[in-house]
Amino acid sequence: MTYGELKDKVSGLPLFSWQALKMFAGGGQELKNQISRWKRGGKLLALRKGFYILNAKERKHNLSRLFIASEIYKPSYISLEYALSSYGIIPEKVSTLTCITTKKTQVFANAFGVFSYRHIKPECFTGFIANKDEEGFTCYFAEPEKAVVDFIYLNLNKLKDTGALKGSYRFEIPADINRTKLQMFAKLFKNEKLLEIIKGVK
């Protein structure tokens, strides 16, 4: 497959995977060698192993980091520090895209930034909504209550009580946060310490 043939195949896709390329060109070592050459030549950018986009001049879509985060490691949704910052619950601006997944914990770095994924149990994988980015692509984002619960659960070893949330992390819980949802999401984790801390969140 030539680079021109590749562009014809993937021009309508925001990003594409090795699996898609195998369907187009049959896979094999020759295709792997071509991909390596195209990457070295700046024609392809790797988002992570097995996920690619055309270079900025060739691709038709401007990809948002939120969409990329939701696509390169599935299932996942944006949560934790990035979501908390977006909701104004913590004051710091967060550059790393922090996500939740049912797969193993991973971190990927590419030209768009750093994408961090933390594992939780499948029964706790809920509490997120589908949003559209500026290009109309879907990305998945935690509700504020779930972002709070996810963060506390994954930092339980650092937390004695809610005082640490306000002190160390400078949490400011919005007045309109849904307390019933906080409790509901916390109960999914079946962790007594988490439930106790959530009860004290103000």
Give the count of domains, the chain.
Answer: 2
Residue with tokens 């149990």: 121
State whether 75 and 37 are in the same domain.
no
What H or E segment, with its residue span, contains residue 77?
strand 76-78
If asked whether residues 131 and 184 sit together in one domain, one would say yes
Check residue 168 and give its pLDDT: 80
Residue with tokens 């939701």: 70
Do 64 and 108 touch, CB atoms closer than 8 A? no
The tokens describing 96, both together, are 């790393």
Closest CA relative to residue 168, chosen from 74, 38, 81: 81
What pLDDT score was predicted for residue 165?
84
Is the same domain home to 46 and 145?
Answer: no
The pLDDT assigned to 113 comes to 97
Judge whether 193 lies within some domain. yes
Residues 49 and 76 in one domain: no
Question: How do residues 107-150 score in pLDDT, each as one tens digit?
Answer: 999 999 999 999 999 999 999 999 999 889 999 999 999 999 99
Count Cβ atoms within 10 A of the Cβ of residue 97 and give its class: 0-12 exposed, 13-18 middle, 19 or more buried: buried
Is the same domain home to 110 and 37? no
Q: Please enumerate in sequence order all residues whose Cβ is within 8 A of that of 57, keeping only pairs 6 or more positions apart, or say none.
A: none
The range of the structural domain enclosing residue 38 comes to 3-54
Using CB atoms within 10 A of its CB, is residue 155 exposed (0-12), middle (13-18) or buried (19+)? Answer: middle
Q: At what angle do helices 18-25 and 3-10 cross, to 10 degrees?
A: 110
Q: Supply the pLDDT for residue 181.
A: 96
- Please name which of 77, 89, 87, 81 lies closest in space to residue 120, comparing C-alpha atoms: 77
Q: Which residue ranges in the chain fall short of pLDDT 70?
A: 27, 161-162
Do 147 and 100 fall within a single domain? yes
Q: Residue 161: what pLDDT? A: 66
Render 138-168 in DSSP notation, one character per residue: EEEEE-HHHHHHHHHHHTGGG-SSTHHHHHT
pLDDT value at position 163?
72
Task: Report yes or no on 36 lying in a domain.
Answer: yes
Within 8 A by CB and 6+ apart from 139, the residues are 64, 66, 67, 69, 70, 78, 130, 131, 132, 133
Q: How far apart are CA 89 and CA 69, in angstroms?
A: 21
